[in-house]
């Protein structure tokens, strides 16, 4: 087919790209995590003190736990919104299915920042929601917890990641042969039983993929806490950001990043394993 020289030539650019922009930064990050900063100078003397700091100072664990709780809440909310939506579209929407599908996708084309600011105007003390509550005389002064709280972060990230959860679930549901649903009904199962015994089990790979998307993407998010979160909802990526910036402690920031990479990759591997176990066709 193709000569070896040709094969080498065409694979060179992508290899260079991956090497330069992916492997090299990871290597630098890993190296940094063993170095230190003393008197504003980077000291290239490898030891484990950054990791010791991470495990000995409770603040890092606390932020990590908060981050994971926010990510878990986002995952749960996205699943609760995304699964019924995907199920409805796949099984019951009828003719407007294609249009509804496009409508779910459209927000993905809108800038993340724009969507963040939109939530700011909705949730703020002078915002749409508070104005609405006051108009209804439900409240007389702005509800404070709406903005600058973990609640706001969960709301915003749920809004942003629900389409990511919806897509793999929808794909999984679309792949379920409709004769299986008919077979279930033929064998005496009603709609609820058919859902629990056939549709739900067969959509689990999609559900896992969607949950992984939402969780992993939320885990590394730093813009939502900045835009709508406030100090009470600082997440681990914000810590990394400040360590690289104002605090000028890139080694410690790198150590946290390495930890995040390890957590993320383990999650991806776990989810891949689980998905395989639930995949039959």
Partner 1 sequence: MSSVAANSLDPASAVLLEVRGVAKRFGTREVLRNISLTIAEGEFLTLLGESGSGKTTLLRLVAGFEEPTAGEIWMSGVRLDLLPPYQRRVNTVFQNYALFPHLSVRENVAYGLRVDEALRMVKMQEFAASRPSKLSGGQQQRVALARALVNRPLLLLLDEPLSALDANLRKQMQSELKALQREMGITFLFVTHDQEEAMALSDRIALMRDGALEQVATAREIYAHPATAYTARFIGQTNLLRGEILDGMARCGAIEWPSDDPGGAAIFSLRPEAIRLASDAVALPGTARFRAALQQQFFSGASELLEVNCSGQLLRVRISARGPLSGGHEFVFSTADAVRVQE
Contact 82, 213 (CB under 8 A): no
- Neighbour tally for 123: CB within 10 Å: 22
Rg of the chain over all Cα atoms, to the nearest angstrom: 23
19 near partner 1 (CB under 8 A): no
- The distance of closest approach from Cβ of residue 95 to partner 1 in the complex, given in angstroms and rounded to an integer, is 12
Single residue of 128, 180, 247, 265 touching partner 1 by CB under 8 A: 180
**In the set 118, 129, 142, 185, which binds partner 1 (CB under 8 A)?**
185
In whole angstroms, what is the distance from residue 138 CA to residue 150 CA?
A: 23
State the DSSP string of 127-170: SHHHHHHHHTTS-SS--GGGSSSHHHHHHHHHHHHHHHHHHHHH
**Total residues at the site for partner 1 (CB under 8 A)?**
19
When binding is defined by CB under 8 A, the residue of 13, 58, 94, 188 that contacts partner 1 is 188
Residue number, 141 or 186, with CB nearest to partner 1:
186
- 57 conformational bin, left if phi > 0, alpha if psi -120 to 50, beta if neither: beta
Give the C-alpha separation, 5 to 2, whole Å: 8
Q: Which of residues 71-100 bind partner 1 (CB under 8 A)?
A: none
Q: Which is nearer to partner 1, 249 or 275 (CB)?
A: 275
Q: Does the protein bind partner 1 through residue 269 (CB under 8 A)?
A: no
Question: What's the closest the beta carbon of residue 188 comes to partner 1, in angstroms?
Answer: 5
Which parts of 229-248 interact with partner 1 (CB under 8 A)? none
Among 158, 184, 212, 257, which residue sits at the site for partner 1 (rule: CB under 8 A)?
Answer: 184
Q: Which of 54, 123, 202, 224 is close enough to bind partner 1 by CB under 8 A?
A: 202
- 278 contributes a contact to partner 1 by CB under 8 A: yes
Residues 160-179 that bind partner 1 (CB under 8 A): 177, 179
- CA dihedral (154, 160, 162, 165) in degrees, to 10, reads -110
Where helices occur in 42-149 by DSSP H, the ranges are 49-56, 58-87, 97-105, 112-123, 128-135
Residues that bind partner 1 (CB under 8 A): 177, 179-180, 182-190, 197-198, 201-202, 278, 280-281
């Amino acid at each position: 087919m193709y000569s070896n020289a040709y094969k080498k030539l065409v694979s060179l650019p992508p290899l260079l790209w991956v090497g330069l922009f992916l492997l090299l930064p990871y290597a630098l990050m890993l190296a940094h995590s063993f170095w230190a900063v003393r008197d504003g100078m980077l000291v290239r003397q490898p030891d484990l003190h950054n990791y010791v700091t991470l495990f000995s100072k409770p603040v890092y664990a606390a932020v990590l736990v908060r981050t994971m709780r926010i990510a878990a809440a986002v995952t749960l909310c996205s699943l609760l919104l995304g699964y019924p939506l995907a199920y409805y579209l796949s099984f019951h929407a009828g003719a407007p299915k294609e249009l509804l599908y496009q409508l779910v996708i459209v927000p993905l084309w809108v800038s993340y920042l724009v969507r963040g600011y939109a939530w700011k105007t909705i949730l703020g003390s002078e915002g749409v929601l508070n104005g609405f509550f006051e108009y209804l005389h439900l409240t007389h002064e702005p509800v404070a917890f709406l903005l600058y709280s973990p609640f706001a972060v969960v709301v915003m990230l749920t809004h942003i990641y629900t389409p990511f959860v919806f897509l793999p679930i929808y794909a999984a549901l679309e792949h379920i042969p409709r004769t299986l649903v008919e077979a279930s009904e033929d064998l005496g199962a009603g709609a609820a039983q058919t859902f629990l015994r056939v549709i739900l089990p067969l959509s689990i790979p999609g559900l896992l993929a969607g949950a992984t998307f939402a969780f992993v993407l939320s885990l590394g998010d730093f813009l939502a806490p900045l835009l709508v979160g406030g100090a009470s909802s600082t997440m681990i990526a914000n810590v990394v950001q400040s360590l690289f910036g104002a605090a000028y402690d890139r080694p410690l920031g790198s150590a946290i990043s390495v930890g995040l990479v390890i957590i993320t990759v383990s999650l991806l591997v776990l989810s891949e394993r689980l998905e395989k176990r639930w995949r039959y066709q």
